[in-house]
Amino acid sequence: MAEIKTKLSDQELSRRKKMEDLQNGGIDPFGHRFNRTHRSGEIKALYGEMTLEELNETEYPVSVAGRIKTKRRMGKLGFLHVLDRDGEFQIVVNKRIVGDDVYEIFKASDIGDIIGVSGRMIRTQSGELSVEAHEYTHLTKALRPLPEKFHGLTDKEERYRRRYVDLIMNEESRRVAFMRPAILRCIRSYMDSQGFTEVETPILSTLLTGASARPFVTHHNTQDMDMYLRIALELPLKRLLVGGMEAVYEIGRVFRNEGMDLNHNPEFTLMEAYLAYSDLEGMMDLTEGMYKSIAENVAGKYTFSYKGYDIDLRGKWARVSMTEAIKEKTGIDFRAINDLDECLRLAEEHQIELEPHEKQYGHIINKFFEKYVEETLIQPTFQYGHPLEITPLTKKNPDDPRFVDRFELFIGGSEFANAYTELNNPIDQLERFEEQLKEKNLGNEEANDIDMDFVEALEYGMPPAGGIGYGIDRLCMLFTEQESIRDVLLFPTMKQRGE
């Protein structure tokens, strides 16, 4: 113990001494169950409008618990602000009521300790709604001090690493932490109301399929084989359409071995949904409805501040084709161009660098879109009409087979959703897989494997369908008005300290 104490600050040593004093007094410093009757939010809802006289007419008993955030004494009176799940509330400790021994326990308490109090509702002389302590119970001794109140954790990296401290000190972090699950509940409720069934599919796979991304690789010891952590949810869900489930969705973690920035985390939450007998238009309608449902039922508003923009979800969202958007920005009409050499020349003129596997018509169009259009799509916009080469799992457009029936939803210059009129032709699908294999041989580490079991499933017949994938983290960023994905993840992936 002496060796450990030499590494502790004076305050940490003091707290350990108080821990020992509690033990010597027969009190467990890391106590036991406490029968709480109310949280602070319930107290404020029930008694917040009552006057002092109304509270005194009938004694309203409550038992509350939480973490001490502030503490002050005025003679034989003590005042605490305590934090629970709903927020802060005041407790008044009167030595005359609780007795000398209990008052000494209160006096020895530290900021950060967790306590339980049973008493009645009162108002102080200043009018603040408070709990008057009749019983005071020490529950947990905090052996480390909290950050100084008005500065908290000012280092963002430390906020993310020590999220538990951030949640104690930062009201905005708590708001976001509780709003995210409310958003997910709303999504599930909306999807269920549209006739969808929520399902679960495997996280481990022997094939790299469903999206263009570099995977994380793991090893199955018993089978002695390498496996991938899934990069998408798509192919198992479409197998369920073959099986007749018709309308399915999954909300789950996916893993992509990519960099980290304000919009990306190597593991993130994705929702994919597939609806038999629907198409691209159906997915647009589903998406607008879902976003507006979250806005109304969770956020209580339709306008949001996101990355410096005022985003308005009301009205009919814009729908624009990729080639038309590029033409508007550059004057180049790629739909009128059929010659690859001409596309390569235009890419060179516009200083667009291409990897060997990107020297194709579709990849060049996508590069132009990323450079000239993507960041300009601020208000909710369905951008559709992607070239075939960058979308291997989507049905070709019947009017121009160089393109597929796909859209991406852009808000604030970022992609929020990706949707398709699903490819259900097994012969066409196999050809797409084979093209992906060629790209892999040219060095595209994000190209898909050939999934012959999925081709076989399509040979049994999959109904025409619409499908969509939503980045749930980015969606939560919009509705909570956060600029970094790390602010909507409780435990984002972090570099090791010192890197």
- Is pLDDT of 152 > 60? no
Q: What is the pLDDT of residues 200-229, one digit of tens each?
A: 999 999 888 777 788 999 999 999 999 999
Helices (H), 109-233: 156-161, 163-169, 171-193
**Domain assignments of the chain as residue spans, ordered by start:** 2-146, 168-317+379-487
SS3 annotation, 420-488: EEECCCHHHHHHHHHHHHHHHHCCCCCCCCCCHHHHHHHHCCCCCEEEEEEEHHHHHHHHHCCCCHHHC
Q: What's the rounded Cα separation, in Å, for the pair 148 and 439?
A: 55
Residue 82: φ, ψ to 5°: -115, 140
% of the chain beyond a pLDDT of 70? 96
pLDDT level of residue 246 (50, 70, 90 thresholds): very high
The pLDDT tens digits for 32-76 are 999 999 999 999 999 999 999 999 888 889 999 999 999 999 989
Q: pLDDT confidence of 478, banded at 50, 70, 90? A: very high
Within 10 angstroms of residue 126's Cβ, the number of other Cβ atoms is 7
The residue among 241 and 259 whose pLDDT is bigger is: 241
What is this structure's pTM? Answer: 0.90
**pLDDT per residue as tens digits for the range 330-358:** 999 999 998 999 999 999 999 999 998 89
* CATH class, range 2-146: mainly beta
Residues 122, 91: Cα–Cα separation, whole Å = 10
Please give the structure tokens belonging to residue 479.
């509705």
Residue 62's pLDDT is 97
Q: How many degrees, rounded to 5, is the angle at CA 96 between CA 90 and CA 97?
A: 60
Average pLDDT over residues 10-24: 96
Residue 285 has what pLDDT?
97
Q: Mean pLDDT over all residues of the chain?
A: 93
Task: Give Cβ neighbours of residue 17 (< 8 Å, ≥ 6 apart).
Answer: none
Fold of 168-317+379-487: BirA Bifunctional Protein; domain 2 (3.30.930)
pLDDT at 71: 97
Q: pLDDT for 424-459, tens place per residue?
A: 999 999 988 888 788 777 777 666 778 999 999 999
Confidence band, pLDDT 50/70/90 cuts, at residue 154: low
- Which band of pLDDT confidence, cut at 50, 70 and 90, is reported for residue 240? very high
pLDDT of 499 above 60: no
Provide mean pLDDT across the span 154-168: 88
Spell out the residues 6+ positions from residue 321 whose beta carbon is closer than 8 angstroms to its own.
383, 384, 385
pLDDT digits (tens, 9 = 90+) for 375-430: 999 999 999 999 988 886 678 888 999 999 999 999 999 999 999 999 999 999 99
CA–CA separation, 487 and 481 (whole Å): 10
Residue with tokens 């503490």: 71
Structure tokens at 344: 């390569």
- Local confidence band at 6 (pLDDT 50, 70, 90 cut-offs): low
Query: Distance (Å, rounded) from C-alpha 117 to C-alpha 12?
Result: 25
Distance CA 45, CA 363 (A): 57
Q: What does DSSP assign to residue 297?
A: I
